[in-house]
Structure 1
Amino acid sequence: MRDPYEILGVAKTADQADIKRAFRKLAKKLHPDANKDDPKAQDRFAELNSANELLSDPEKRGQFDRGEIDAEGKPRGFEGYPGGPGGFRRGGFRQGPQDESIFESFSFGPEGARRSGHGPHDAGGFDDVIADILGGLGGRGRARAGGAGRGETPRGGDIEISVPVPLERVVEGGPVKVHLPNGRAVEIKIPAHVAEGHRMRLKGQGEPSPFGGAPGDAYVVVAYKQHPLFKVDGADLKADVSLPLAQAVLGGKLRVPTLKGEVELSVPAWTNSGRTFRLRGKGLPKADGAAGDLLATVRIVLPESHDPELEELMRRHLEPKG
């Protein structure tokens, strides 16, 4: 297959909105119902679908840009049969039980576009495109756009809602409030040890159907909320920890905050300010179920109150020797 960027007519720097606009424009132009006298119309439309399916998925787009997969979604150097390892058949349509592509369930025949499923990546865009196309071909659009020619009414589009979750809630799990586009607020339970980017489906909470069909779904995506103590670095956390001057010189036990409460850190004598200690497994959950680390950087602090003895000690230390 040709380069998907070339097929959609967009630059490699195009954002997702540019890709969606380009797809909608070309889908109307290349749809087989709009090109009934062109025997290659179905092939061109399938090629367009395949290119959009790859570039509209950030993960697959990244793999393609890095050269890990080809334009059909197959690993580079894959010489197997269509539909083999890699989960794609010729034309780039995904198959298998985990399929989320909206395009695999489309076919084109005497009755036009048929659809048997609805995936999370279309956000209503493909239904709207089909409706627009068929609506301009003799008034047949609404009956056939999402109903496979059987009067089925197209459903509303799916939406994604990014929800900032406190880091403690990410580790422990618990309820968070989600504000829907329709103004409603619902409470959902975040599972414990959930990684950033985790998606949860709220059935029927997406966009309403412009044709009176069922509403789409809402997908809640976990994002990390900014924390007053910790900075996020992948699955690791970074924090500055105050180290009293006496402990910096003599060593001792230092209380270090974590997302699950304080722990003791053994600080050796003569520890310089800026030294970083790694507390393994005290960071954020990873997608594989493991946990990142906490990187605690000590910062030497002086006593809060005036200490004449300390000042005298420092004066003696600064006096010229001999």
Structure 2
Amino acid sequence: MAEDLYEILGVSRRATEDEIRSAFRKQAKASHPDVNQGNAAAAERFKKITAANDILSDPEKRRQYDAGEIDAKGDPRRPQWSQQPTGGPRRGAQYTRGAGAGGAGGPGGPGSFDDFSFSDIFSDVFGSGGGMRRDGHGFATRGQDLRYSLEIDFLEAVLGAKKRVTLPDGGVLDLTVPEGVTDGQVLRLKGKGTPGSPGSEAGDALIEIKVRPHPEFRREGEDILLDLPITIDEAVLGGRVEVQTPSGRVQLTIPKGTSSGKTFRLKGKGVRPKGGAVGDQLVTVRIVMPTEIDDSLSYFFSEWRQKHSYDPGRK
């Protein structure tokens, strides 16, 4: 018993043209031979849904199929005759075969391959880059994109680096990590994916960057954040201290009476993204007490407190 075309596409007999088109797209994406290479069942399924769509997407063919005038292959179930009067005295009737299953279903007509946008399906299957293109011999397949992950140090992400990715098959990919790359950013290596079919381009290699945390630096946008420990005497008396930056160490002047939590800005010492504004380094000082409080320090502050007590702004 022949299969029902509506059942093949998974739609009801009251389905609209849009519903039929949508069902065919969905079925074609799942069953297309280029995404099911070597799968004979998928290839056969693709042939069936294509044939079903060829009839149901053509209003005239669909009417003929619903009326039982043509079968699931588009062949006439019974001849259709039209009576044509002949010239002269009528002694009988001359008959000619009607259009039947021909006409609208011919090449270029509604329901043909040219009428349906197969490029939409291939765009969905292979990506927006145009996974398939029609050439003089059929369809040429663009190579698939390959995805990899690369873990790099914090400073490599800030300053840029030359890295090598080892592939599962033992091959390698050399790439340049640009300055200012962010965690989760994807770098594209054009043409480094799988080869395409003859006459079509290769896919790309997509490298997702994973940035390892730094023990001291943090990043907010294009700014670099650093906590700087200072001694109690540096906070009281001031002084010059060395500060680490991604590009090297610099001198920072601590004013007298600097409180813990004060932030200093080192202009231009942050991230330098390609084509973007350069960030700064924000240094926040933290006063660190000595591990041991000796008698002289205790006595000094005891005397000082009696004469110079103040309100630190506690709430």
The interval holding the TM-score normalised by the smaller chain is 0.5 to 0.7
Q: Give matches, 1:103-114, under 5 Å.
A: 109=114, 113=118
Give the 5 Å matches for 1:71-90.
none
Task: State the alpha-carbon separation in 1 of the partners of residues 191 and 300 from structure 2.
Answer: 71
Distance 1:123 1:266, change over 3 A: farther
Residue 272 of structure 1 aligns with which residue?
Answer: 259
Is residue 205–residue 217 contact of structure 1 (8 Å, CA) maintained in 2? Answer: yes
CA distance in 1 between counterparts of 2:213 and 2:244 reads 16
Compute the displacement of 1:225 (Å): 3.0
Q: Secondary structure at the match of 1:309?
A: helix
Question: What secondary structure does 1:109 align onto?
Answer: coil
Q: Any conservation in 2 of the 1:195–1:285 contact (CA below 8 Å)? A: no
Which deviations, in whole Å up to 9, do the C-alpha atoms of 1:59-95 show, x marking residues without a partner?
xxxxxxxxxxxxxxxxxxxxxxxxxxxxxxxxxxxxx
Counterpart of 1:311 in 2: which secondary structure? helix
Q: After superposition, what is the alpha-carbon deviation per residue over 1:88-120, rounded to whole angstroms, capped at 9, x for unaligned?
A: xxxxxxxxxxxxxxxxxxxx72697469xx99x
Aligned residue number for residue 4 of structure 1: none
Residue 283 of structure 2: SS of its match in structure 1?
Answer: strand
Matches within 5 A, 1:53-64: none
Query: How big is each residue's C-alpha offset from its partner over 1:2-58, in whole Å with a ceiling of 9 and x where there is no partner?
Result: xxxxxxxxxxxxxxxxxxxxxx98832588967445379xxxxxxxxxxxxxxxxxx
Q: Which of residues 215, 226, 239 is equivalent to 2:213?
A: 226
Q: Greater shift after overlay, 253-262 or 30-39? A: 30-39
2:175 alignment partner AA? I
Aligned mates of 1:247, 1:256 — CA distance in 2 = 14
Q: Is the 8 A contact 2:158 2:246 kept in 1?
A: yes
Indicate the SS of the match to 2:261: coil
Alpha-carbon offset, residue 266 of structure 1: 1.4
Q: Distance in 2 between matches of 1:256 and 1:311?
A: 30
Q: CA deviation at 1:240?
A: 0.7
Q: What fraction of aligned residue pairs are identical, expressed as a percent?
A: 33
1:124 to 126, 132, 143: 126
CA deviation after TM superposition for structure 1 residue 310, in Å: 1.9
Amino acid of the structure 1 residue aligned with 2:297 = L
Match of 1:27 in 2: 25
Counterpart position of 1:154: 141
Deviations 1:217-262 (A, max 9, x none): 1023445431111111111111110111111001111211110111
> Which residue in the other structure is 1:38 paired with?
57
Task: Look up the match of 1:166.
Answer: 153
Question: For residues 277 and 267 of structure 1, do their structure 2 counterparts lie closer, same or farther at Cα, with a shift above 3 Å needed?
Answer: same
State the Cα distance separating 1:287 from its structure 2 match.
Answer: 4.9
Alpha-carbon distance in structure 2 between the residues aligned to 1:178 and 1:314: 59
For structure 1, the 5+ residue unaligned runs are 1-23, 41-107, 131-144
Q: Which amino acid aligns with 1:253?
A: R
Q: Contact between 1:124 and 1:158, CA under 8 Å: does it hold in 2?
A: no
Q: In 2 relative to 1, CA 126–280 (structure 1 residues): closer, same or farther, beyond 3 Å?
A: closer
Give the corresponding residue for 1:294: 281
Rounded Cα–Cα distance in structure 1 between residues aligned with 2:141 and 2:289: 68
1:275 Cα deviation (Å)?
Answer: 1.1
TM-score by length of 2: 0.52
CA gap of 1:127–1:189, structure 2 versus 1, over 3 A, is closer
Q: Is the 8 A contact 2:140 2:197 kept in 1?
A: no
Shift of 1:208: 6.7
Asked if the contact 1:235–1:293 (Cα under 8 Å) also holds between the matched residues in 2, the reply is yes
**Contact kept? 1:164, 1:223, Cα under 8 Å:** yes
SS at match of 2:233: helix
The whole-number CA distance in structure 2 between the counterparts of 1:210 and 1:246 is: 72
**Is contact 2:146-2:194 (8 Å) kept?**
yes
1:149 and 1:111 map into 2 onto residues whose CA distance is 18
Specify which of 176, 182, 187 is matched with residue 189 of structure 1: 176
* Amino acid in the other structure paired with 2:126: G
The separation in 1 between residues aligned to 2:215 and 2:171, in whole angstroms, is 29
Q: 1:263 to 1:215 in 2, by over 3 A?
A: same
The 2-side partners of 1:255 and 1:123 are apart by 57
Tell me what 1:262 maps to.
249
CA drift of 1:178 comes to 2.3
Please identify the structure whose Cα radius of gyration is greater.
Answer: 2
* Runs of 4+ in structure 1 over 6 Å off: 208-211
Instruction: Measure, in 2, the Cα distance between the counterparts of 1:26 and 1:313.
Output: 88
Query: For residue 124 of structure 1, what is the amino acid of its counterpart?
Result: F
Per the normalisation by structure 1, the TM-score is 0.51
**Alignment partner, residue 192 of structure 2:** 205
